Amino acid sequence: MPVMPITAKEINDYIVSMKDLFILDVRNEEDFKDWKIEGPEITHLNIPYYVLIDDVGQILDKLPKQQKIVVVCAKEGASKYIAELLEQNGFADIAFLEGGMKSWSEYIYQTEVYQDENMKIYQFIRVGKGCLSYIIISGEQAIVIEPLRFVNLYTELAEKKGVKITHIFDSHLHADHISGGYELSKKSNAKFYLMRSEGAIFDFEKLEDYEKIDVENISIEVLAVKTPGHTPGSVSFLINDKILFSGDTIFVHGLGRPDLGGKVREWAKDLYNTVYEKVSQIADDVVVLPAHYADFSSEVNEHGFIGNSLGNIRLLNEIMNDHSEDAFVEHVAKSAATTRPPNFENILAVNKGIKQATVEEISEYEIGPNRCAVHHVG
């Protein structure tokens, strides 16, 4: 009997439902340490393909007999071969990841976040990258925030709900993935909003020109202050004084890393002003919805989406309360010393419109971990 593939969606179902899963990752050790499939009930064993190809017997006693085993590699071929060898050695409940880690990088699922009489919000979770994107439906219009490059996600949902996409927002130029904002704006004939200071060369609506944008039954307050992250001009969006789309400025368990522009202390001071002057004025019960997360199992809430109240986030992030500017800057500068997102210069160049790339090149640029939400300050 041939070994069957398992999809990225099926693996995510294991993670979300907290089911046991054993992953044999046959990529090289460096790639495995850098980025892997993670979940609260996942057990890993990393043995490179070249070690196993001639002698799979050396690991048979390290594998569970009564548990689902999934073999994982970069693009599928190696994992399928090793899975077949293991099946020949008596392992019945075994599969290989269809499409390899590339498919895991691109898997996205949708969940409902919020609903009241004025709006309904859906969150798109790109699990392998830790990227978060949103669509807000109000009346007959839809707003997309932090659009991913998979623009059909939004056009299909809008069509299903009988609404028209009219406004698209990026909080900043992302450094770990390609934005779908410009493409979606052309496809849907919607306005695309971005800060002028981000340096994009295509046509868009400049967020510096707006303090508030009204769409159907919602009011979008643009917190247009210089907030660090990966770029000089990040913003956040406060919706009806209830929901804060915080971009890469505030995460469930951290604050935005201010080092990708090479001005870590200068931008850390900007972050201090954002947290202590702007964000401090926002009520504790406002729900924060960020653009990224670092760890799904610890940041997903009981409702199944990534987000938390601002009050809880303040409690989780002690640095957001009663610190001097000097102490804050010192703490953040030290915490920012993490590895940068892979290929971030190419990704930023594509997002600015100054570099063209094929779909295959973009997939390669995006392969790897999310390092936008790893700047935890506690």
- Catalytic residue, from 73, 97, 158, 260: name it: 73
* CA dist., res. 81 & res. 358, Å (int): 29
Estimate to the nearest angstrom the gap between the alpha carbon of 345 and the chain centroid.
18
Size (the chain), residues:
378
Question: Are the C-beta atoms of 291 and 148 separated by less than 8 Å?
Answer: no
* Helical (H) or strand (E) element with 188: helix 181-188
Q: Write the single-letter amino acid at 172.
A: H
**Quick one: 363 exposed, middle or buried, by C-beta within 10 A (0-12, 13-18, 19+)?**
middle
Q: Is 352 exposed, middle or buried (0-12, 13-18, 19+ CB in 10 A)?
A: middle
Alpha helices (runs of H) in 199-293, residue ranges in sequence order: 264-273
Residues of 143-175 as b/e, b for ≥16 C-beta within 10 angstroms?
bbbbbbbbbebbeebbeeeebebbbbbbbbbbb
Nearest to 38 by CA among 66, 63, 79, 72: 72
User: What phi and psi, each to the nearest 5 degrees, are found at residue 102?
Assistant: -60, -45
**Edge-first strand listing for the sheet containing 205-206:** 108-115, 120-126, 131-138, 141-145, 164-169, 191-194, 205-206
131 is annotated as an active-site residue: no
What does the CA dihedral 152, 153, 158, 161 come to, rounded to 10 degrees?
Answer: 130
58, 45 in Cβ contact below 8 A?
A: no
Beta-bridge mates of residue 344: none
Three-state DSSP state, 124: strand
Residues annotated as part of the active site: 73
